Structure formats: structure tokens, C-alpha cells
Amino acid sequence: MADFALNNPNTGKQEETFQRIADSDRDGILDRSTAAFKEWSATSIDERAAVLARTADLYEERAEELAEHIGREMGKLTRWGKAEISIVADIYRYYAEHAHELLADEELPAQGAIHSYVRKDPLGPLLGIMPWNFPYYQVARFAAPNLLLGNTIVLKHASICPLSSQDCEDLLVEAGLPKDAYINIYASGSQMDDFVADKRIKGVSLTGSESAGAAVAKTAGENYKKSVLELGGNDPFIVLDDEKLEWVLDQYLPIRMYNTGQACNAPKRLIVMEDFYDRTVEYLEKKIDAMKVGSFDDENADIGPLSSIDARDEIVERLQKAAQNGEATIRVGGKALDREGAYMEPTLLTDVDPKADVGCNEIFGPVAIVYKVKDADEAVKVANEASEYGLSGSVWGADVEAAAKVASQLKDGMTFVNEASVTAAGLPFGGVGRSGYGRELARWGVGEFVNEHLFRVSGQDDAGLSPAL
């Protein structure tokens, strides 16, 4: 009997069912991954790079089908799905094209030896626990650099992504990855603790909720293995002046509402000066009220459904509670739409209490929040002190030097000036605080789950350095 189903958030209807693994399957899965590691880690850098390059090609060739899968699974508009797939192809191709540069030995001063250097060695089988909001991209960020290193991967995806999670394995295998070097498993979150603790797993990467991240970090730490966590954000978007106010707001709104607001690094807190606060609110009220909500395959839709009806209802309940408690004013939207599927009205909040739930915690949906401050110093204070997250932030202003000075004060893992939420294969991704730790992409992607192995070569007559300290 099936354990879970693909529930299409566009229609609210169940489409396909799938079987989760049994606990007794764990040993076989990890034995297979361990055996595959011996083969995959012994291949040349060129062989691994070729697999990643072919994977990039396959994502591009199958973009239509792959976008349709995630549209049905979690409601991503087709144009957004194709954009995600394009970035995924870029990531696999980046690691293929930069393989030798990224894995090159690091030469050190000899320091009393003939030769001292550090070699990048793979660790072994890794566990990935990934979320539903960017089903291909999140996997690529983790898989591409680690497969290049020679690690193997066991991947537990979100249960609402059964089609795309299997796509990730199938495309790698078709590209030439040896059998079991990447294993997609249909599993529950409660089954992951035993995987993390198992000695055959050498590291774990999780993108998801704070509670799941805390559980993974605890078990990983107790078993002396590394973890990387990306847990979400409440990113500030600070506007310093009104020289190009409408242009800036036209940048902000689609970034905030991208993926129907279900992006960890979306700018969730718009912070503007009091001089142009009223104009900002008035402009956004009109823009948000005019946004069209539609299914993933509606070419005219501005946003799609939420990932599930439960997710939609949870957000609507939080918004209504905040309004009733005087913790926020709902200027536009805030309600579920009376139609089949997980749709809600795009929403604008003002007068938000920074210490209330909707102020200090992430809202993972199509909700814009505007804060009013008197100057840049207060904007920085609101950005840094009203949230314990630290994923990314941005500062916008006509005076680039002044904007950069303000941006330098933000306590985030990624900070932007006159742009926001930028991701690319050659840029590191990650945060601090409640947003987690560790970095993905670029050279940092191969720096997390790697044995930076020191080698020193000395002649028998060389004195070298003291072996004891």
C-alpha cells in the first residue's frame, strides 16, 4: 500500500501514489552507496566532469517535461520552472568546466620538506535532505560539487516531490553516473536520524525547516560528522531614497513574489524611509491588488498556488491572527481564494510589530511587508535586530557608495547593493544565525565535504620541522 501521494496544489486533487522505504531497507541502501563510492572515487577528474557536463545538457533538453513535473508537484509557474532548470544546467556545467581548477592540489611553502601540499580527497557517501520549493536547484547545489569530488549521494527529497526527485537520479544515470553513486529514496523525515547516525554516512546537508536542521545537527555532531544547514530567512530590502522609487519597487515586487513567495532568500521585509513611506504603500497596494493568481500552466498568471492547501491555510491563519491582535494591518489580500487548489490572495502588510510572529518569523508565501524608518541607521537596526535570521539582504540607493556603506553593516551571509536574491553557479550561497551554516556553490561547494589532506615529502636526511609540539 502506498505511503504518500502527489497532491496537485493547482487542482487540490490526488494524482499518483508512491511507496516509502522500510527501515529494513537502510542497510542495503548504504551498502550500495558505499560500494559505488569505491568505483566513483577511483575515476578520473575528466570522467566525473564529463558526467556533469552531460547532465547539464540533459536538463536543458528535458526542460519542458521537468518544468511540468514541478508545476504539478508544488505549483511552480512554467516560466519559473524553466528558469530554475536553466540555473541547474549552469551549475552542473560550471563544475564540469572548472573541475581541474577546483580540485587542484594547493601548493604550500616546503617548510623544511622537499614538497608540502594539500590534496582534496572525497569523504564517502553523503546524505542530502532537500525541500520542495526549488526541487532541482537545491539538489544541484549539493550534488554537483560533491559528485565532482568523488563522493556518492543518498538523497531524501520532500515527499511532495516524487517525480522531480526521481528525475534528479535518472538524469545523472543517463549522463553516465555509475549505478548507486546517487540514490533517490522515498523516505519520511522520521527515518533520517538513523541515516545521519550511521557510520557509512560521512556528512549531511539539509535545506529545510529550523526544527529539522536542529535535529540533523544534533545527531551529526554526536556522531562526529559534518553538517551543512540552509534553514530560511527574513531578508531585509532597504530603500534609502526615492530618486527612482517606482523602478526600485518594480524590482522588489517580482523578487518577493517569485515562486509565489516561497523562496528562503526572498526579500521579506521592505524597509523604507518615512519621507516616501506613504507613496510606497500606495504604489504597492495597486500593484499587488492587480496581480493575477493562476495555475502553473497559466501563461498570464503572476503567482501560482502555494505548495499545499495546508501551507496556504497556515499562512492565512497567521495573517488573520496578526490583524486581530493588532500586530499588523492587512492592506491588500490576506485570504484564501474560493476555488479548488491551494490559492491565496497576494498580500500587503503594514504596521507590523517586529516582535510578533509575522514580523520576526519567515512567511513562506506571497506576502509583502513594509516597515517605516526615519533614517539609514534605524533601517540597519530593524534589519539586524528585529530578526535572528541572516541569509541575505539588500540596500538600494542612487548614491552607490552610501548604499554600499549601509550594506556593509548588515549581518547576513549574502549582501547586495541595487540587486537582491541573486544566485549563480560561481557565487557562494549560505547564511548565518537561524539561517544555518556552511556554504554551497562556486569553490565553496567543494570545500564542505572534503578531506583537505596534507602531504609532506622529505628526504631521509632532511631535518624537517619538529614532530612534537
Active site amino acids: 230
Distances in Å between the Cα of 94 and the Cα atoms of 15, 140, 193, 426, 441 are: 36, 11, 33, 7, 9
- Among 374, 344, 321, 254, smallest CA distance to 9 is for 344
Complete DSSP assignment for 428-468: -B--EETTEE--BSGGGGGSSSEEEEEEEE--TT---S-S-
Cell numbers at 19, concatenated: 511507496
The span from the CA of 78 to the CA of 64, in Å, is 8
The span from the CA of 199 to the CA of 218, in Å, is 15
SS3 category, 300:
coil
On whether the CB atoms of residues 155 and 165 are closer than 8 A, the answer is yes
The span from the CA of 213 to the CA of 435, in Å, is 10
SS (H, E, C) 305-352: CCCCHHHHHHHHHHHHHHHHCCCCEEEECCCECCCCCCCECCEEEECC
**Span between the terminal Cα atoms of the chain, in Å:** 62
The span from the CA of 154 to the CA of 257, in Å, is 32
- Among 445, 447, 379, smallest CA distance to 410 is for 379
The span from the CA of 329 to the CA of 215, in Å, is 35
The span from the CA of 433 to the CA of 49, in Å, is 34
Q: Which residues contact 346 (CB under 8 A, 6 or more apart)?
A: 257, 288, 291, 293, 302, 303, 332, 333, 366, 367, 368
The span from the CA of 363 to the CA of 319, in Å, is 9
